[in-house]
Chain A
Amino acid sequence: MGANTARLLSFQILARMIDVRQITKSTKEGVPILKGISFTVTKGEFVGILGPSGAGKTLTMRCLNGLTRPTSGEVLFTDHEHNLVNLTHARGRELRKARRQIGVIFQGFNLVKRLSAIDNVMIGQLGRINLLRSLVYGFTDDEARQALAVLEHLNVAHLAHRPVGSLSGGEQQRVAIARAIYQQPAVMLADEPIANLDPTNARKIMQILTPLAKEMPIIGVFHQPDLVMEFCTRIIALKEGVVVRDGDSKMTRSELVDLYGAELSEIEASQRILQPA
């Protein structure tokens, strides 16, 4: 292999922010859940992961952030400084360093309910600030101003000092997204960011995420094929732990029927509510 090809290869690797290679995961009893999932995500993509319940979507997402370790295979992540991190093997300091650059929006928001919204946003940078300062002192005024600016961007600045537990689902979701943005990650993972939201809010969240994807790739798990087709640039379909489709953001109805089976009628029923009358 010539030096040129090597450079070319390394460039290609760099373009891939997330490189998932044949990951598998089994339960303690040995029942396989993920059966060899591979895909790569590059800059500028807004990837929607679709699939019926139990397909392994959430578990895949957890593997992407090192919260769950796959049984085999590996997840490679390229950070801002073009360091290649193997999330499957990273531990301690290395894992924390990688996680700083991976923003996660969790399914149940998972915010600290008793802290104010702005404090929750500032938690996004805990990985970066000095440990001693974070334990003894806390956040600086500048950090608070930046966090407020992000909240303002998401139209929830007026809630900044309310405890998160007293906010509605849509408001909490915005705070969770604000936290992920404030974290300034290289890639953002979103696990059902619009589940349990009403149609208007769901659409608004998608409208917030779309421009963000231009700066950092977003990988999201969704249950709403129509919104995914409208906003995402690419759809990966999972079924029973394998990737059954990986391509553009257009899926025909027959493809959806193949993917979801009987579940499709439920999803369509909920979508009918989603359609503005």
Chain B
Amino acid sequence: MKQDTPWTYSGYRRRQTLRIWTIALVIGFCAYWAGVSCKVDVDALRTGLPKGIDFLGYLFPPDWTAFADMAMPALETILLAFLATIFGAFLSLFFGLAAASNIAPRWLRNLSRFLLATERSLPEIVILLLLISALGLGPFPGVIAMAFGCIGMLGRLFSDAIEEINPATLESIESVGARRWQVITYGVLPQVLPSLLANTIFRFEVNIRLSVLLGAVGAGGIGFQLYYSFQTLQYQRATTAILITLLLVFVSERLSDYVRKKLTLDARL
């Protein structure tokens, strides 16, 4: 059929235009119904936006005296993220190994990949809600939620890194009569360590951001201060919390960028 009609520029243009219009129509249709479902209200935005900008006035000047109160929660947030990252990375390592095709048997790999994908589909905040129902409010469920939240992403990245290892290297360690765990310790871990660290540090940055959100639900730290100040209409105090949060996020981002750049330079072996 296709060979029958010779290729012409006008025909190509026509098909191209038709396709673009079809895609545009489909997107437009989806967007319209999504708008209805989302209760998009342009009037509300028009009247609300000036209101929002007016409101920004209430945020200033920041309540500098609150800085002292916020220093400890800020430290707590860092600690929360730090503990969660370490704990989560540790767990992820095992999942990563179990999900790597060159280490684990097929059934274990498939099972682990499935679990990791399931975890990735589960937002951290849902895990936190579950943990809060079981353990009550506090920083502790926050740490656990973030740690579990790491597993989906880090486990997947770890296992991808592990699968990139040349199988011949592992075979050569096996050839001296080493056991599987020795192969992992001496053949796998040294090879993936830089990428492991780089991903873990990136996840630390993500966890700092997350801990703001989770803190608001009740995991403590600066996120809780921020949300609580908003809820109690202490907007200038909230600004202080926002500024501290910005600082935390900014510094962790710089730090993770810097360390990752250093690690990838090292990793060029």
Contacts and interface: CB of A to CB of B under 8 A. Distances in A.
Are chains A and B touching directly in their complex (CB below 8 angstroms)? yes
A17 interface: no
A146 B195 CA distance: 32
Nearest to B166: A110
A135 B171 CA distance: 18
Given A104-B172, A123-B186, 14 more contacts: A96-B178, A96-B179, A102-B175, A110-B169, A112-B190, A113-B191, A115-B190, A123-B176, A125-B176, A126-B182, A126-B186, A127-B177, A135-B181, A163-B269
B185 A108 contact: no
B121 to A, nearest CB: 34
Contacts of B169: 110-113
A106 interface: yes
* Chain A: interface size category: 20 to 34
Nearest to B179: A131
Nearest to B269: A165
Nearest to A120: B186
Please list the 6 inter-chain residue pairs (A to B) with the smallest Cβ-Cβ separation, ordered nearest first: A127-B177, A165-B269, A110-B172, A99-B177, A100-B177, A126-B178
Contacts of B171: 67, 106, 110
18 contacts: A65-B175, A67-B174, A67-B175, A96-B179, A99-B174, A104-B175, A104-B176, A106-B171, A110-B166, A113-B169, A123-B176, A124-B176, A131-B181, A134-B182, A134-B185, A134-B186, A135-B185, A179-B176
A249 to B, nearest CB: 27
Interface string A101-138: 01110101011111100010001111110010011000
Interface in A73-112: 95-100, 102-104, 106, 108, 110-112
B186 A115 contact: yes
A207 interface: no
A80 to B, nearest CB: 13
Nearest to B194: A114
B210 interface: no
B218 interface: no
Interface residues of B, number: 22
A183 interface: yes
Given A113-B269, A163-B269, A123 B191 contact: no
A100 B181 contact: no
B149 interface: no
B259 interface: no
Contacts of B177: 95-100, 126-128
Interface string B129-170: 000000000000000000000000000000000000010110
Contacts of B173: 112, 123, 126
Given A165-B269, A166-B269, A100 B176 contact: yes
A106 to B, nearest CB: 5
B96 interface: no
Contacts, number: 80
B93 to A, nearest CB: 14
A126 B168 contact: no
Interface string B168-209: 110111111111011001110011011000000000000000
A126 B176 contact: yes
A114 B269 contact: yes
Interface in A171-195: 179, 183
Contacts of A95: 177
A101 to B, nearest CB: 8
Which of B173, B174, B178 has the most C-beta atoms of chain A within 10 angstroms of its own C-beta? B178
B99 to A, nearest CB: 21
A100 B179 CA distance: 11
Contacts of B186: 112, 115, 119, 123, 126, 134
A112 B187 contact: yes
Which of B172, B174, B194 has the most C-beta atoms of chain A within 10 angstroms of its own C-beta? B172
A110 B168 contact: yes
Nearest to A92: B179
A126 B184 CA distance: 12
Interface in B2-47: none
A180 to B, nearest CB: 9
Nearest to B185: A135
A247 B185 CA distance: 43
Given A106-B168, A108-B168, A99 B175 contact: yes
Contacts of A119: 186
A183 B193 CA distance: 26
B166 A114 contact: no
Contacts of A165: 269
Contacts of A183: 176
Nearest to B177: A127
